[in-house]
A and B are shown apart, each in its own frame.
Chain A
Amino acid sequence: MKEVDARGLSCPEPMMLTEEAVKSEKGAIRILVTEPHQRMNVEKCARDHGREYTSTETEDGFAVVIDPQK
């Protein structure tokens, strides 16, 4: 699974990395972010691209797993 580690990066870098990954990777992607609003932005990006996702809280932030493109 492709992993994007955006932890600790300032806005809008997590969003830019997510966009880049969603556009280039058809398989599952695991995106790590630190802030709650960054998680929300990643989820919105997945929705905008018609992808499903699952979010979980981690020790130092959040992990959003975006499902493979159908």
Chain B
Amino acid sequence: MNLSDSKMKLAIAGIVCGLVAVCLAYFGNPANMAFCIACFIRDTAGALGLHSTETVQYARPEIIGLVLGAFIISVVTKEYRSTAGSSPVTRFVLGMILVIGSLVFLGCPLRMIIRMSAGDLNAWVALIGFILGVGTGVIALKKGFSLGRAHLTNRMSGGALPVLMLGILVLALATTLLKSSESGPGSMHAPIILSLIGGLIFGAFAQKSRMCFAGSIRDVILMKNFDLLTIIGSLFVVMLIYNIATGNFTFAFDTPGVIAHSEHLWNILGMYAVGFAAVLAGGCPLRHLILAGQGSSDSAMTVAGMFIGAALAHNLGLAASGTALNAETQEVVAGSVPLNGKIAVIICIVVCFVIGFFNKRSENK
């Protein structure tokens, strides 16, 4: 089974994943979040006690399902390969940047598309930053950037992250050890079984279609190849139809309840860091969960970096706050990016430049 050899199949994969996101939004996931990799990793990190922000703690079965879905489909279709050794610590750092940039914008590239489909103009502004970030990564690639080769390794190594994810699922289902929000975004979720099935389906389709939000724009800039963009386009259309049909489409900035803010410069710079880091790491946050599921220990390191980045974003006060309605006064309170978050984004961008322009293919063997 190959979903990446024709634009029609890629479009179908995007539609299926869009429908999964629609179902999860309909059955209880936060409005306009539906399926956000950065937010869900942040929630899962909170459930494990890696940070203590009580409103964003929940072991999201979608994340577990994505990794396990990619693992199962890659084993069944003989695409599972246990590999490791391509600058793992650099990839860990890039994972941290992917999530810190996302939490300053308030969403990963997948959620950016979902927010765009709901008419959130802040997400359209952030798209500018994301494209510029991907473009800067492409310049680094053209100047010879590389993180070096991965090598085949012990089969069990590639299976470690899927097993850890299974462990989180068992803890969530069979114990009370994990934290779970009683209010806020972490308390809003579809039933566990639906979230898990949704994650498994999304993971399987993402693995077979090579879905990647950064890769889609990178391929257009680098090779004028629109294949991967087809998936994103069809996912966007499905979500757009759902949002219009259910009255969730609001074409505006500063919409209370959307979990977004209108600090344009920081929306742009946050997603600039994400786009840049994603090209250097070889994929967006979603793609790394999928690659980790199909055996890449290097992507598993990126995922570990994302967990730590999410924890730091909340422990050090880097994450932005969303525009909200004050229940008592009925006033709209604008969301914002804290000073620590702004400093962190600048550091992230500087680190991307250092990684992007000091790791050369010519130095690799």
Known contacts A35-B81, A40-B2, A40-B4; A12/B218 CB under 8 A? yes
Q: Does A68 contact B (CB under 8 A)?
A: no
Q: Are B223 and A12 in contact (CB under 8 A)?
A: yes
Q: Are B2 and A8 in contact (CB under 8 A)?
A: no
* Interface 0/1 of A6-22, CB less than 8 Å to B: 01111111011001000
- Of the candidates B81, B149, B210, the one whose C-beta lies within 8 Å of that of A9 is B149
Residue of A10, A36, A40, A60 with most chain B CB atoms under a 10 A cut-off: A10
Q: Are A8 and B361 in contact (CB under 8 A)?
A: no
- Interface of A (DSSP majority class): loop
Cα A8 to Cα B296 with chains together (Å): 10
Q: Are A36 and B79 in contact (CB under 8 A)?
A: yes
Q: Does B86 contact A (CB under 8 A)?
A: yes
Contacts of A19 in B (CB 8 A): 223
Q: How far is the CB of A33 from chain B (nearest CB, A)?
A: 11
- Quick one: closest A residue to B4, CB to CB? A37
Number of B residues with CB within 8 Å of any CB on chain A: 26
Cα A10 to Cα B149 with chains together (Å): 8
* Interface 0/1 of A52-70, CB less than 8 Å to B: 0000000010000000000
Q: Are A12 and B141 in contact (CB under 8 A)?
A: yes
Q: Does B155 contact A (CB under 8 A)?
A: no
Q: Are A60 and B223 in contact (CB under 8 A)?
A: no
- Quick one: closest B residue to A6, CB to CB? B149
Q: Are B147 and A10 in contact (CB under 8 A)?
A: yes
Q: How far is the CB of B342 from chain A (nearest CB, A)?
A: 30
- Quick one: closest A residue to B364, CB to CB? A9
Q: Are A11 and B222 in contact (CB under 8 A)?
A: no
Contacts of A15 in B (CB 8 A): 223
Known contacts A13-B141, A37-B4; A8/B150 CB under 8 A? yes
- Quick one: closest A residue to B215, CB to CB? A11
Residue of B141, B146, B148, B149 with most chain A CB atoms under a 10 A cut-off: B149
Contacts of A35 in B (CB 8 A): 79, 81
- Of the candidates A7, A10, A37, A60, the one whose C-beta lies within 8 Å of that of B282 is A10
Known contacts A10-B86, A10-B282; A60/B218 CB under 8 A? no
Cα A37 to Cα B74 with chains together (Å): 12
Q: Are A60 and B152 in contact (CB under 8 A)?
A: yes
Contacts of A10 in B (CB 8 A): 86, 146-147, 150, 281-282
Contacts of A11 in B (CB 8 A): 215, 282-283
Contacts of A8 in B (CB 8 A): 83, 85-86, 148-151
Cα A12 to Cα B215 with chains together (Å): 8
Q: Does B219 contact A (CB under 8 A)?
A: yes
Q: Are A40 and B5 in contact (CB under 8 A)?
A: yes
Cα A7 to Cα B152 with chains together (Å): 10
Known contacts A9-B149, A16-B222; A34/B4 CB under 8 A? no
* Interface 0/1 of A21-62, CB less than 8 Å to B: 000000000000011110010000000000000000000100
- Of the candidates A16, A36, A37, A40, the one whose C-beta lies within 8 Å of that of B141 is A16
Cα A40 to Cα B79 with chains together (Å): 13
Q: How far is the CB of A23 from chain B (nearest CB, A)?
A: 12
Contacts of A34 in B (CB 8 A): 81, 83, 150
Contacts of B83 in A (CB 8 A): 8, 34
Given contacts A9-B149, A37-B4, 8 further A-B contacts (CB under 8 A): A10-B147, A10-B281, A10-B282, A11-B215, A12-B219, A16-B222, A34-B150, A40-B5
Residues of B at the A interface (CB closer than 8 Å) are 2, 4-5, 79, 81, 83, 85-86, 141, 146-152, 210, 215, 218-219, 222-223, 281-283, 361
Closest 9 CB pairs of A and B: A8-B149, A10-B282, A8-B150, A37-B210, A60-B152, A11-B282, A36-B79, A8-B151, A9-B149
6 contacts between A and B (CB under 8 A): A8-B83, A9-B149, A12-B141, A36-B79, A40-B4, A60-B152
